[in-house]
Structure 1
């Protein structure tokens, strides 16, 4: 089926929104994404599809540092599953989001059927990371972090390399702020014994 698509720039320059002529259910949206592997999509609760931009070189390096440390920790402790930024998660509010990095405990991941694990898992990660690029707007990313928490994420890190700030979001609604990168981030009780050295992102 051919879809008639009209596109318009969103209020912020780092995303392009698509208004489709028909509504897509979950399976159709998954198939739509698979037919366009060169693009990365998210979907808002109202069904609006958002094209996510490619990252620049420095952001890619920083993402790799974070991913490596998280995967290394997970291989040692074997407590869950690590997901990269190309993984979409279906949230309770109807949105499909792809955090820059995510982790889900084995106990929760194993509650999903093989079919649910294969597509966009209908589950919120226990832990997410949002690593800002130079064009990201802080308010936009902060809103997304609140959405993560409101949909069941237990711990989230919003990292802004430009200002060397980190916002730590928790399931109880508290948000802590770190003002420089000369610190270690803790996985707290969600990722036991996991620490990340922020100087790796300088």
Structure 2
């Protein structure tokens, strides 16, 4: 996915509500903001990445419907991270007790917290370092488990709180560990 980063900070300082309204007024565009308040414009993904994303979200949501432990979000959901960044992971999950502590207004707009679990799926045009930096940012802001799935290099990078990144070469499945108990994502079809 190609991205463009724009720095409007010297011209306009978009507050959270203005950024939200910008996103709502341009539904065909996908925006994120980094911690420096720079606007990131992302292009849509291609068909293969879209299919993989859909499959991953379906599997996560089916597990969650049975487990009833949290809420699953797709790539169009915005999260306001503690560092001020606004991010939209390809898939995300929040524990139910954290979700239930939010007001209806907070649930309705960009979610003002960091997901407990995130997945970023590298598309053919994604810059790997940019995605690795996003996963580090999620972990630094409270994500407990993150997966960077990289079909291009046939690898998965696993990010966890307080531990070094783990790299798996062409794994057939991934475990949700203690964050998503009994969740197993079969990813053989990605390779």
TM-score (norm 1): 0.91
Aligned match for 1:164, one of 136, 151, 154: 154
Separation in 2 of the partners of 1:23 and 1:94?
13
Output one character per residue of 1:96-153: Cα deviation in whole Å (capped at 9) or x when no partner. 0000000001011111111111111111000000000011111111111100100000
5+ long unaligned stretches in structure 2: none
Decide whether the 8 Å contact of 1:104 with 1:127 is kept in 2. yes
Larger radius of gyration: 1
Q: Which residue matches 2:114?
A: 124
Shift in Å, 1:14: 2.0
Separation in 1 of the partners of 2:164 and 2:96?
26
Q: Which residue matches 2:176?
A: 187
Aligned match for 2:63, one of 65, 73, 81: 73
Higher relative contact order (CA 8 A, sep 6+): 2
Q: Which residue matches 1:57?
A: 47
5+ long unaligned stretches in structure 1: 1-12
Aligned match for 2:136, one of 140, 146, 150: 146
3-state SS, counterpart of residue 59 of structure 2: helix
Q: Say whether residues 1:199 and 2:188 are aligned partners.
A: yes
Q: Which residue matches 1:7?
A: none
Moved over 4 A (4+): none
Output one character per residue of 1:140-173: Cα deviation in whole Å (capped at 9) or x when no partner. 1111110010000000000100111000000113
Decide whether the 8 Å contact of 1:45 with 1:95 is kept in 2. yes
Note the aligned Cα RMSD (angstroms).
Answer: 1.1
